[in-house]
Amino acid sequence: MITASQMRAGRALLGIDQQTLADRAGVSLPTIQRMEASSGNVRGVVDTLTKVVAAFEAAGVELIGENMPSIGQGRGVRLRERQPVKAPQPMPSQGRGKKGSV
């Protein structure tokens, strides 16, 4: 699901520390520390792993799995491109009056 290296790299991309990640994920600091100290795939309670992954996704970090399409090979992380926010378009008038009237 996620590796300790991906967690550290994701935090580095965002410029946040372990406490900030813990706060955003709604888990304890010792939980984040334990997860990042593991080797290979992070193991733990599924709910906790899901919260951490969701926190990264909400911040725009995309977790790249081992078999996911990417230029390189193996697991990794990247920031999603931010989509420009479009200004709301005015609604067209309903044409209830005479032609040419405002």
Residue 24: domain span: 4-79
pLDDT value of residue 50:
93
Number of structural domains (the chain) is 1
pLDDT value of residue 42:
86
pLDDT value of residue 36:
94
Q: What is the pLDDT along the chain (102 residues), one digit of tens a residue?
A: 788 999 999 999 999 999 999 999 999 999 999 999 988 788 888 999 999 999 999 999 988 776 655 555 555 676 776 554 555 566 666 555 555 555
Residue 96 domain-assigned (yes or no): no
The rounded distance, in Å, linking the Cα atoms of 76 and 85 is 27
Q: How far is CA 45 from the centre of its chain?
A: 20
The rounded distance, in Å, linking the Cα atoms of 10 and 5 is 8
Q: What is the CATH number of the domain that holds 22?
A: 1.10.260.40
